[in-house]
Structure 1
Amino acid sequence: MVLSVVARGGDAFADVRSLVYDNHEPRSRQLAMARRALVIARTLINARVIEKVDGAYRLTVDIAPNFALNQPLSPFALAAFELLDPSSPTYALDMVSVVEATLDDPRAILSQQQFKERGEAVARMKQEGIEYEERMELLEEVTWPKPLDELLTAAYEAYAAEQPWVLDFQLSPKAVVRDMYERAMTFGDFVRFYQLTRSEGLVLRYLSDAYRTMRQTIAEEQRTQELDDLIEWLGEVVRQTDSSLVDEWEALLNGDVLLASEEHEEIAPPQPARLTGNPRAFRVLVRNALFQRVLLAAADDIDGLGELDATAGFDRSAWDTVLEEYYEEHDSIGTDADARSMQYLVLDESGATASPRVWKARQIFSDPEGDKDFGFSATIDLDASDEVGEAVVRVTEIGRVDGWAEVDVD
């Protein structure tokens, strides 16, 4: 409310005062709203979102038309954004982590993440020969991923010292959107990986809340191209996943919905927008699908790679041969933010208007020596992607860059 009043100009103080007191709320409620409005105003001033000039309040930044502080801790998020370095390779994901820390906890998701983390921790500790009793003690410290935990906790405590009201709301660092993005997963991949089939609705609601909050809380000048791409990707994931309701519509139409008359218009499920109609979001989906193979190669998961690409002619054995050659020359495959960058990816979108509509891609592995001598090529079928609601990638070449194993893609 405060932000909207300041944005429209005029005497913001008088306008807010009128909104707070010129109503039929009980006096106690009016006083509570007045205190809340003052706290929000001070927060926005401290965050340098608004300023007082010649007795009048005005915005200091250009905000999007849909800009809003729609979470109780959104004012804290505004202040926390200032702690991040836009030049950092993890800036976009760190911005996501700040927003996620202000959202309500999706307990079912976090429990499964913790279960997965503890399972992996047990496996590591067994390999290291740690005794059972010590393992159990160490497991108590293993929880779900909490990016920026120390930074955000310290910032929250400092913020609360000046804004005590924030203590009414619990900061909760977590990584659902970030985890999904870093693992290059689709919605379905994420649900299967964490065994959340019975909680798909919860996952979708959380992703939707995260998308809306990022769209409405992060100001234009705080955004980078990578962050914009990530937000667009998340929005498209939500939109395409929501189209799965078509199945529910069909079930209703097959007997659960009785039309009062055959003269009524046929009820039809809403059709999802074409996936490729949002090139920016689709581009991120493609990059994630390609990078998923990089992650599998980095883990030497030839079974996973074979499962993805066997139908394209690159089964478990084919990937095993290539990775064996790679690891004879290099110790590892990078999976950090740098490895995700466009310096390791060539994406040719010139075929988007051809028939059939096809993009071509070449993904290079990030090796420690910087040789960039191994990777794979692929085609992306745009029409098929629209049909299934996710990027349809077909690997066409794998191996050493100067000696690809060709596969006919016709």
Structure 2
Amino acid sequence: MKGVEPWPHQEEAIMDLLAGDHVILNTPTGSGKSLVALGMHFAALCTGRRSYYTAPIKALVSEKFFDLVEVFGRENVGMITGDTHINADAPIICCTAEILANQALREGRHADVGCVAMDEFHYYGDSERGWAWQVPLLTLPNTQFLLMSATLGNVDAIADKLEDMTDTDVDIIADAPRPVPLTYEYTLDSLEKTVELAFGRGETPIYVVHFSQDAALETANALASTGVSSKEQRAAIAEAIKGTKFTTAFGKILQRLLRTGVGIHHAGMLPRYRRLVEQLAQHGLLPVICGTDTLGVGINVPIHSVVLTALTKFDGTKMRKLRAREFHQIAGRAGRMGFDTEGLVIAEGPEFEIENAKALAKAGNDPKKLKKVKRKKAPEGFVTWNENTFDKLIDAAPETLVPHMKVTHSMVLNEVAQGGDARYRIDRLIDDSAQNPEQKEHLHDRADEIFQTLFNTNVIETEDRDDGGKDYFMTVDMP
């Protein structure tokens, strides 16, 4: 890009890509990973190779699509998600990770995939979706990979596996400084007071992180009545949203909140409402956004301060303390490149500790009053945290990614669609995976079950080959 002077780590990454190597870019949020990906797409375009950009969520895919259209022109960029196909034959494709993984299973080593920038690559360790980040590395031996995330941890095992599968060098770049340094505060003030103090210091925009959607809405309603925006901001917001239809019950709540300068952001919102909040934030119109950790996934929303209302979350099974990767994904959103000299991350103490601190402050230095203060204890079964928890998270490196693989009917059918010996390829996929022996045995058993079901229902059949092998094919047209 004209006028952009790359940082040393960006230049190193681009030179490695031009040399034909794979690159694992394990650098902080705001350190310019997008510029490296841009260089990869440009090099691919110049050499007649098709390049892909993948991300875990449609919103990020869409955002990157428009960014690349602006650079390379609409005719050169396409987008494929589960419900959107735009210019699908373009030389540069933006898609979700699952789209590429399924294409890799259908087409294998013959897929027209010259190079891939896989964003938010820490999803490799996601228990439900990690397979989609692992499959392309195992099935596209002729493809060049750029794997990017701010929270990868130790990636030596991933680099070794990729090098083994593709017979190509893998360069790990992980020494980039954070362009906007972070400062950290732990507080026993109420959330309303914390936000008020941050406003007084000019530490806006603020993203208030919750780990439930209901809690985010509750805080948003509380802050909306405290006057967080100026008259000018409210007028600008009213102008910006005047063409938007808020037709649902939640939409009407969102409209009311936005008019006060408070945004909401979580995965349960309609995509158009989420995009509206992101657009208003990008234009600097929302001093406060209350949401969940969805904003930790790459969306380009400028935030100066991140306030964590808890250092624990419910993971679907139990309440537990945040892991280092989860913490750094969220905290890393603080600090606006080009706007701030530093970002601010604030952690709130547990509610019972905040109430204790308030009672002690009210007693002041009066010994009699201090003696009468009844300290509250954590509720029974409550997973608590303290300033030491916060300090440990700040200092902790992201955990080493644990690989995840699965075998599903869809994956098997995609392999069958490729032609040839689909069972051999599924078995090889399992054997080549980064799973341990016990997991591989379970995956082989699962593959047996799926193939048997597909045979029993006459969805697939085989033909013997002269060389003793088998060709698999489908007997029905799949949607």
Decide: shared fold, TM above 0.5. no
Of structures 1 and 2, the one with the larger relative CO (CA 8 A, separation 6+) is 2
Q: Which has the higher helix share?
A: 1
* TM-score normalised according to structure 1 size: 0.25
